[in-house]
């Protein structure tokens, strides 16, 4: 069987026989892969001219609903992915992370897109910047989708998750993608893309696939494109230095294999729960996916007085892990992804043995259960010990990308930090300690060298997700050796595929462009109360100027009695000497409550409910005798997805500007209401 490429909206076989791909368990031929003959320039142009316009015209919410539909569809097909995933050597648990973990990324980003981003094709970033004395010339940042294509060059270890975690954010941003999985496991990626194409959920041009070499695709990138790479630091640096990437200032995000560490606190003793949790985590990271995770623990950093106890405990736990065909009962660790990986890991272990002692495992003598010893890609778990980690630096420079980790001692917390930093940048480091002081010292001493720090004690362990498990909500990446990039991180990852642009102009013009009311923009009034209008009928900048109300001493006393807020400035005028107040002052919450009494229309209408309060500032004291009024302005409208059990509605953000008899603002707030839509 020859894998097909998906290019220019069609499935295409590459020319020639291609590279043979083998089952990691038994060495049987799975498929051939080749991309020879593909029109890489044409693929880039197709994505830009067809996929990009189709995605960019959608709003964030429409893109998010697309992600959810795709996640639901793939979830129904997951059994066929599991079946083929076995050929990569992944056990059921490993495949779960790859397949359902990848689908989970789609679900997470779909939810975040609908909750945290507007129902527009662009994003208004931050608050307005008032850059003129009278506020007639202001600035506002917006983020718009790049008009190019995301080229994803992925690693072999997660053929599904590696693709989906990137697609989730570039699709949400409105950017099409060309996916180039690692050739050795590309057959699983191809199967998933086949199902994605069959679903007809994505617009034409949104997704293309290369099974085989990436050819000259980087020769055709330009300043609107994004290139992402996951894999070895050496390959990543080579791609990042491509002349077109440099010449066109192409955004390049690299997530490279790194020498991640796990630190056991010097407060921990072998009888403590944290010690057992540490041993369990290190051994799990050593054997999960046969150690083929970019986040795996390569350096196990322990207090020098606990070295023997740690090594003994790890040896006992690792010894219970049976190696072989992961689908045979009792087997806990499968093979590496390919025979090529076996040769590479073996070479790296031989190098590490020059400066570290092997305390568990053997390169040649180990048993397997099921599978083919000669044709499969099996490799035994190995634990090394570096007794002089500040002198023998191989452990901090050489990574064996398999079930291999090196134990190294430290004396003080400062030493532990120094050892962690010798990795020259990591995706993740973990800390197992019962001492918050120790955890703080390690975090402050190493955070600049890590993309993520995983801090575990007996209180957090029960719900902890694991040292090696990146989450869609949090940044995945790291400085230095880890590539210097960031992926995922909730909506942060989305903005990597967008251009942040500073707009400057009059508040009224920027309001029209952004559809968010800007300070001092033109306000319009209508004889119809805004609470009598449906969501569609409200206009940004529409303002209600209310009648006024004079604050009395009775108001202040009554509010104190009702609320129980007897702060001295409201209730005891004899205590004001030396304070910032000159006389009895009204409660701030009374002022905002009184403002609501001025602008709320009491009749039943399109406004369904108060939805919340985003911002509230008390700017000037309101004394007894002051007269207040309100300017209520439509600030922003957010379309809300209709649920089966509720009426069609949207969220309206209102600016509440409370001012006194001098015309000065005394309180400023943003309130939210649910407002019915005419439709549905």
Distance CA 5, CA 85 (A): 19
**Residue tagged 């009491």 (tokens):** 602
Active site residue 294: yes
Q: Judge whether 503 and 490 are in contact, CB under 8 Å.
A: no
Which of these is catalytic: 100, 165, 190, 255?
A: 255
Long-range contacts of 558-567 (CB under 8 A, 24+ apart): 559/586, 559/587, 559/589, 559/590, 559/593, 560/587, 563/587, 563/589, 563/590, 565/589
Phi/psi at 424 (nearest 5 deg)? 60, 35
CA dist 333 to 22, 283, 289, 305, 521, Å? 18, 11, 7, 31, 64
417 backbone dihedrals φ, ψ, rounded to 5°? -65, -45
- For the packed helices 161-173 and 60-76, what is the interaxial angle rounded to 10 degrees? 160
Of 541, 526, 533, 513, whose CA–CA distance to 634 is shortest?
541
What sign has the CA pseudo-torsion 307, 309, 311, 314?
Answer: negative
* Phi, psi for 36 (deg, rounded to 5): -60, 135
Token match 């499935």: residue?
11
Cβ–Cβ < 8 Å for 650, 606: no
Which of 294, 399, 417, 636 is an active site residue?
294
DSSP result, 518-557: PTT---B--SS-GGGS-GGG--TTBEEE---EE--HHHHH
Name the one residue in this structure whose structure tokens are 């009059």.
506
Strands 426-432 and 322-323: unpaired
**Cα-trace Rg, the chain:** 30
Q: How far is the C-alpha of 33 from the C-alpha of 13, rounded, in Å? A: 9
- CA-CA distance, 83 to 7, in Å (whole number)? 26
Nearest to 206 by CA among 180, 175, 241: 175
Q: Are 265 and 438 in contact (CB under 8 A)?
A: yes
* CA-CA-CA-CA torsion sign (428, 280, 98, 77): negative
Given a contact cutoff of 8 angstroms between Cβ atoms, the answer to whether 204 and 176 are in contact is no
* Residues that are catalytic: 255, 294
């Amino acid at each position: 069987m020859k894998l097909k490429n998906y290019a220019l909206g069609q499935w295409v076989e590459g020319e020639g026989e291609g590279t043979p791909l083998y089952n990691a368990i038994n060495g049987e031929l799975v498929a051939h892969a080749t991309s020879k003959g593909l029109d890489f320039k044409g693929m880039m142009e197709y994505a830009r001219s067809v996929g990009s316009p189709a995605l960019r015209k959608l709003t964030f919410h429409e893109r998010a609903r697309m992600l959810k539909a795709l996640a639901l569809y793939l979830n129904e097909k997951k059994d066929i992915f599991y079946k083929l995933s076995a050929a990569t050597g992944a056990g059921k648990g490993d495949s779960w992370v790859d397949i359902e973990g990848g689908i989970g990324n789609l679900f997470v980003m779909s939810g975040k897109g609908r909750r945290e981003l507007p129902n527009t094709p662009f994003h208004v970033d931050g608050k307005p910047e008032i850059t003129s004395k009278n506020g007639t010339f202001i600035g506002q940042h917006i983020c718009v989708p790049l008009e190019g294509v995301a080229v994803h060059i992925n690693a072999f270890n997660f053929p599904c998750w590696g693709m989906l975690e990137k697609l989730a954010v570039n699709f949400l941003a409105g950017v099409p993608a060309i996916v180039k999985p690692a050739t050795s496991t590309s057959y699983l990626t191809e199967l998933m893309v086949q199902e994605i194409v069959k679903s007809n959920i994505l617009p034409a041009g949104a997704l293309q696939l290369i099974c085989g070499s990436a050819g000259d695709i980087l020769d055709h990138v330009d300043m609107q494109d994004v290139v992402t790479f996951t894999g070895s630091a050496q390959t990543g640096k080579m791609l990042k230095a491509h002349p077109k990437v440099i010449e066109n200032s192409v955004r390049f995000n690299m997530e490279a294999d790194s020498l991640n560490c796990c630190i056991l606190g010097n407060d921990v003793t072998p009888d403590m729960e944290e010690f057992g949790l540490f041993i369990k985590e290190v051994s799990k990271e050593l054997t999960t996916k046969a150690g083929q995770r970019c986040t795996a623990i390569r350096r196990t950093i322990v207090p020098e007085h606990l070295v023997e106890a740690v090594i003994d405990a790890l040896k006992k736990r690792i010894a219970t892990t049976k190696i072989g065909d992961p689908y045979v009962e009792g087997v806990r660790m499968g093979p590496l992804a390919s025979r090529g990986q076996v040769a590479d890991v073996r070479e790296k272990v031989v190098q590490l043995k020059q400066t570290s002692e092997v305390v568990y495992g053997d390169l040649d003598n180990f048993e397997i259960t099921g599978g083919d010893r000669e044709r499969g890609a099996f490799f035994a778990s190995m634990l090394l010990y570096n007794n002089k980690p500040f002198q023998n630096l191989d452990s901090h420079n050489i990574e064996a990308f398999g079930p291999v980790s090196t134990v190294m001692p430290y004396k003080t917390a400062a030493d532990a930090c120094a050892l962690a930093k010798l990795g020259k940048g990591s995706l993740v480091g973990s800390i197992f300690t019962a001492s918050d002081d120790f955890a703080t010292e390690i975090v402050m001493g190493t955070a600049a060298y890590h993309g993520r720090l995983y801090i575990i004690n007996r209180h957090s362990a029960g719900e902890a997700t694991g040292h090696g498990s990146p989450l869609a909500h949090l940044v995945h990446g790291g400085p230095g050796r880890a590539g210097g990039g960031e992926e995922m991180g909730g909506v942060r990852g989305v903005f990597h595929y967008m251009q942040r642009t500073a707009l400057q102009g009059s508040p009224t013009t920027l309001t029209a462009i952004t559809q968010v009311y800007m300070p001092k923009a033109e306000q319009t009034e209508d004889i119809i109360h805004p609470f009598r209008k449906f969501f569609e009928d409200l206009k940004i900048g529409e303002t209600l100027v209310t009648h006024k109300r004079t604050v009395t001493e009775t108001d202040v006393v009554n509010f104190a009695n009702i609320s129980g807020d007897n702060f001295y400035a409201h209730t005891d005028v004899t205590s004001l000497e030396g304070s910032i107040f000159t006389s009895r002052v009204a409660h701030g919450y009374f002022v905002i409550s009184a403002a609501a009494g001025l602008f709320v229309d009491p009749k039943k209408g399109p406004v369904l409910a108060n939805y919340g309060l985003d911002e509230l500032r008390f700017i000037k004291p309101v004394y007894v005798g002051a007269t207040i009024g309100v300017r209520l302005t439509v600030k922003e409208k957010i379309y809300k997805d209709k649920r089966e059990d509720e009426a069609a509605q949207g969220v309206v953000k209102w600016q509440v500007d409370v001012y006194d008899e001098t015309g000065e603002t005394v309180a400023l707030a943003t309130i939210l209401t649910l407002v019915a839509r005419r439709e549905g």
